[in-house]
Amino acid sequence: MVELNRHQIRQAAFQTLFGLAANPDAKAAQVAEQVLAGDPEIAWEGAVPADLMAFVDGVTAHLDELDLTISEYLQTGWTIDRISRTDLVLMRLAIYEAKHTDVDPKIAVNEAMELAKSFTDDKGRKFINGVLNKALTF
């Protein structure tokens, strides 16, 4: 069986959370299975990794708290609803990881920025970086 590294776990968690944001009635494990099955870089077989589901379940369980944290650091007049789904999910994942796991906040931000290179544009990356740096007090 293939082992996923931390970056691959984060990427699959992002993709799963993005899928759940688009379809809130979907089951997280099924979306995660689809994400893993559709990734051409890994030949995944078997159960969804526990680390992946821990990320997804953790972000889902703390959604209101994460969104409140993000809202606190938005410019005046901005709301969560104005943020692209991609950028929002990346920020939720990074803030969850920094505040609810033993990962250093700087690593969580760095990983979010690495994922942002693949999933959003330059403007989105700057926005994410600005909010995360404020929210995680660097």
Whole-angstrom distance, CA of residue 49 vs CA of residue 54: 9
Token couple for 120: 């959003």
Interhelix angle 105-119/122-135, rounded to 10 degrees, is 160
In 1-138, which residue ranges form alpha helices assigned H by DSSP?
Answer: 6-22, 28-37, 50-61, 63-72, 85-100, 105-119, 122-135
The Cα-based distances of 80 to 28, 89, 122 in angstroms read: 22, 11, 19
pTM of the model: 0.92
Superfamily of domain 6-135, CATH level 4? NusB-like (1.10.940.10)
The 10s digit of each residue's pLDDT in 70-101 is 999 998 888 999 999 999 999 999 999 999 99
Whole-angstrom distance, CA of residue 34 vs CA of residue 28: 10
The single-letter code of the amino acid at 81 is D
The 10s digit of each residue's pLDDT in 32-79 is 999 998 876 676 777 899 999 999 999 999 999 999 999 999 988 889
Domain ranges, ordered by start, for the chain: 6-135
The number of angstroms, rounded, from the C-alpha of 91 to the middle of its chain's C-alpha atoms is 6
